[in-house]
Structure formats: structure tokens, C-alpha cells
Amino acid sequence: MRISEHPPSSKNRSELTRQALLDSATRLFGKHGFDATSNRLLAEHAGVNQALIGYHFGSKEGLYEAVFEHIAERLSSHLAPVLLPIESELQALTGGERDTAKSDVKKRCVNAISTLLENYVCIINFPEFEDSARVIVREQLDPSNAFEIMWNKVMHKYMTALTLFICLSKGRTAPDQSDRLMSITLMGQVLVFRVARASINRHMQWEEPHGADNLEKIQLLIRSNIKKILD
Amino acid sequence: MRISEHPPSSKNRSELTRQALLDSATRLFGKHGFDATSNRLLAEHAGVNQALIGYHFGSKEGLYEAVFEHIAERLSSHLAPVLLPIESELQALTGGERDTAKSDVKKRCVNAISTLLENYVCIINFPEFEDSARVIVREQLDPSNAFEIMWNKVMHKYMTALTLFICLSKGRTAPDQSDRLMSITLMGQVLVFRVARASINRHMQWEEPHGADNLEKIQLLIRSNIKKILD
DNA sequence: GTCTATAGTCGGATAGAC
DNA sequence: GTCTATCCGACTATAGAC
């Protein structure tokens, strides 16, 4: 926790500076990558002085890691209301209930998985998460410490839940490698819409960015594919 | 076509230099990206003098584009023996044959799609294509001229064939937007194994690089998913 | 074709005034 | 906390010897 030695107005400005730098960094690192983004450009885009990167984040790398902390928080709070009912559903299916009909379990699992992945479709496609998603993809191509932050704070929980539902939908209770592999192919169907957007826009003859109607078509197809794969 | 004004031994060395630079560039641009890779490192890795980048490719950017030409050729020649029977199958299904049983058409389409995607699994996972795939993914995150090369020379043909088979498997003859969207989700199931490898290695508790047994498990799952989705 | 040496530019970091 | 000015290292490109 940072301790301000200045009057409130100064404290507010400080926070504004931090936010402006974090937002610009997310955008520019996402669009062009870490090395292609200079501190000068970063500062200009944020409307602040270049020296403030050093002051607030220690270095360019410090800013980069702060971006991941920031993204992890935003994603967590976006996912929290989705994961809450999902996790109580998990508890209900694994321990809390007895004699649930098999077909009912499967149906509820498929529903939970659809919910998780439709939400992922939003994260991948919403403009507000676009840059965050790009930063994460870049980081995975050449992982550093920043990837640890992301995996531990957000991804791990999400992938574990997804895998467990897949396992339960097959009538088992302990996930194995085949369940994990399945969770990856399901994720891939969504992830591709961020990663291969250049190809997709050509192939679909879409213009940037995808409209809301496209989003809905994607979600419908994903839901339909999940049902066919898991039923 | 480059005209050599030197004896054969010199010509050979020139070609070796070009190849060494292209290989190193594919590897390093793929691993770290264009901006994070310096000409010095590139030359050192290739075991040649730094000034030769300028001589052979004009500039660093020239080398970058040459990498895409190179990759496009390698991918094309890898895919050629796969696409040849696929395209004659396409002709047979669209025009050459009459009164083919509907169920037979579907089966043959699903087979063709599986062939295409299993080959894609190889491209994504084979060490010899690893760096090429990474370079392409990076390029898509921030497309430049180089992406045009890739799309026009390789991707377009591949995606068109995939989409057409999907369309035929549904008993139609002219592909629509839903067929194209489906082709993307199918591709995504494979692409994810390159793009999200950092997450996958964690989730699967695999070590780099994937072994041949893992490759086979992936192919089996992809084939099974395709069958379920399209049947 | 290859190499050495260097010109010219731009990068991240920071000292010190306010 | 912010800003100006500046240091110094790393970068790409290229001139010129071989």
C-alpha cells in the first residue's frame, strides 16, 4: 500500500497517472508487444510525463507486470458472479446430492460448461477486454514471470472448473488426462476468435470489430458444438 | 532470380548464408518477436556477419518478409500431397458423381475434414514447424504486409477446402456463413495447442516439448470431436 | 560475398529543479 | 508527484577494405 505524503488532490492525481499508464500499457503492449512499445510512446498515449513510468512502476518491466496484476483483477471480478453459482453447482453435483438421475447430471454439466464458455466468448470479443486478451496471448508465446500471475490468479481456477464438469458429465468423479485434453479443445474453439482474427475477418468477410450479432452467432455455435461433443 | 558474378564455391556459400539467416530468423522472430530480435543476435545465431542481412535482404524488414515467403513455400510443399487427393475428392463430390448415397457423402466429407485437421495438428506440433507457426500467430496479432503473403499462398486454399467439405457434409453445395464459422471453431481446437502452450503444459502437467504419444492422443480427440459435431 | 568499423538514431533510466 | 534535461548503451544501416 502506497503512503502519500501529499495533500489529497495530489494523491488523486497520482492515482490518475497510474491508471492512465496502466490503460495505455494494456492497449499498446497488447497491440504491438513489449519491445515494440517505447516508454516515450506509452507516456504520450497516457498524457503523462515519461519519467513517471520509473517513479510509479520502477521500470518498463515493472509496468508490464503491473499490467498483468491489473488484468487479473479485472478478469477475476468479471468472472466472480459467473463462477459463484458454478461452484455451488459443482458442490451440489459432487457431494451435496444423492440419487440424482444420470441424465440430469449430464444436462446440468453441459449447461455449466456452456455458461463458462459463453462467458469466455464475451471476454474474447468484448472491446473492453480485447487488449487484455491480446497481452495474455503474447505472453504465452514467450512466457515470463507475468504468466505466473495470470495462471495462478485466474486461469487455473477456470480450467479446473471446466475440466471437472467435463469429467462429471461422463459419469466419473476424478478428472483424468482425457478430460483435461477435452477442456483444451473446447477452449480452443473460443480462443481462436481472438488469436486468428486477421484470418477470420478475411474468411468471414467481416470488418473489425465484430458486431453484437456476430457475437451471438458465435455463442450459439459454441453451445451447439459443446452439446454434440459431450452428449 | 539472383545472378552470381562469382565462382561456384562463392555461390554456394551465398546460398548457405541466406538459408542460415532465414532459419535463425524464423526461430528468433518466432520465439521473441520482430522487435525483440536484434540483427546482431540474428547474425550471431546464424554464424554469419551482421552486415550480410543488409546485403542479402536489404534490411531487417526485408528478412522478415523473406521469412514469410520461405514459410509459405515450406507449408505449401508439406500440404501439397495432402491437398491433392482432397481436391480430387472435392471434384468427385461436387460434380463428377451422381446418385451418391447421402450417408456416403457425409462419411467421405467427415473423413476429408479429419485428414485436413490431423495434418494441421502435425504442423502445429512438429518441431520442424514450431517456429513457423509461432511467427504466423504473432503476425496475426498485428498484421502487416507479411500476413498477405501467408493468407494468399497457403491459408486461403486450406480454409476454403475445409469450409466446402463442411457445407457438403450438411447436404448443401454452396457454403454459407455458418459453414465458415464452423470451419473456424474446428481450426481453433487444433490451433490452441500452439497458442496456449504455456497454459496447456501446466494444465496437462506436460513438459516441453510434446511427445509423439501426446500428438496421437490429440489427433484421436480431434477426430472424435469432428465426428460428433458433424454427424 | 564477406568483413570491419562507424555513423546516426533511438531506447530506458535518472538526477535534480520545482 | 511531476517535469526537464541528459547520460549512456544498443540498435540498424552502410561505407569501404578485402
Question: Where a domain ends, among B58, B78, B98?
Answer: B58
% of chain B with per-residue pLDDT over 90:
84
pLDDT in tens, A94-107: 876 666 777 789 99
Within a domain: B34? yes
**What's the pLDDT at B12?**
87
B52 and B37 within one domain: yes
The answer, yes or no, to whether residue B54 has pLDDT greater than 50, is yes
DSSP 8-state secondary structure symbol assigned to residue A210: P
Record: contact B33-A36, CB cut-off 8 A: yes
> Is A3 within the bounds of a domain?
no
Report the percentage of chain A scoring pLDDT > 90.
85
**Residue B58 reports pLDDT greater than 80:** yes
Indicate if the pLDDT at residue B110 is higher than 70: yes
Could you tell me if B100 and B191 lie in one domain? yes
Q: Is residue B72 part of a domain?
A: yes
pTM of the predicted model over 0.85: yes
- A203 & A187 share domain: yes
Q: Which nucleotides of D are covered by protein (CB under 7 A)?
A: 1-5, 10-16
Are A144 and A46 within one domain?
no
Domain span at B17: 10-58
A-contacting residues of B 70-129, CB under 8 Å? Answer: none
Measure the CA–CA gap between B231 and B227, rounded to whole angstroms.
6
CA-to-C1' span, B116 to C5 (A): 53
Amino acid letter for position B129: F
Q: What residue type is assigned to position B142 of the chain?
A: D
At B173, is the secondary structure helix, strand, or coil?
coil
Q: Are residues B47 and B68 in the same domain?
A: no
The C-alpha atoms of residue A188 and residue A165 are separated, in whole angstroms, by 17
- With respect to residue A99, please indicate whether it lies within any of the assigned structural domains: yes
Q: Are residues B160 and B69 in the same domain?
A: yes
Judgement on whether residues B183 and B101 belong to the same structural domain of the protein? yes
- Which of B185, B194, B214 is the best residue to mutate to test the A interface, defined by the most A CB atoms within 10 Å of its own CB? B185
- For position A7, what pLDDT does the model report? 55
- Asked whether residue A5 is assigned to any structural domain, the reply reads no
- Do B79 and B137 reside in the same domain of the chain? yes
Q: List C-alpha distances in Å: B80 to A143, B24, B83, B160.
A: 34, 25, 5, 15
- A8-43 pLDDT, tens digit each: 566 788 999 999 999 999 999 999 999 999 999 999
The CATH number given to whatever domain includes residue A28 is 1.10.10.60
Interface mutation target, options B125, B141, B142, chain A, most CBs of A under 10 Å:
B141
The reply to whether B68 falls in a domain is yes
The answer as to whether B2 is a domain residue is no
Do A97 and A23 reside in the same domain of the chain? no
Is 50 exceeded by the pLDDT of residue A216? yes
Q: How does residue B97 score in pLDDT terms, banded at 50, 70 and 90?
A: low
Residues B148 and B203 occupy one common structural domain: yes
Which residues have CB under 8 Å from A55's CB, separation 6+? none
Pair A170, A213 in one domain: yes
**Nearest nt to the A41 alpha carbon by C1':** C11
| CA-angle at B71, arms to B55 and B139, nearest 5° | 90
Number of domains in chain A: 2
Q: Is residue A1 part of a domain?
A: no
Q: For residue A10, what pLDDT is reported?
A: 67
What pLDDT, in 10s, does the model give residues A127-138? 999 999 999 999
A80/A166 same-domain check: yes
Q: Closest CB to A229: pick one of B181, B182, B228.
A: B228
- The pLDDT assigned to B228 comes to 98
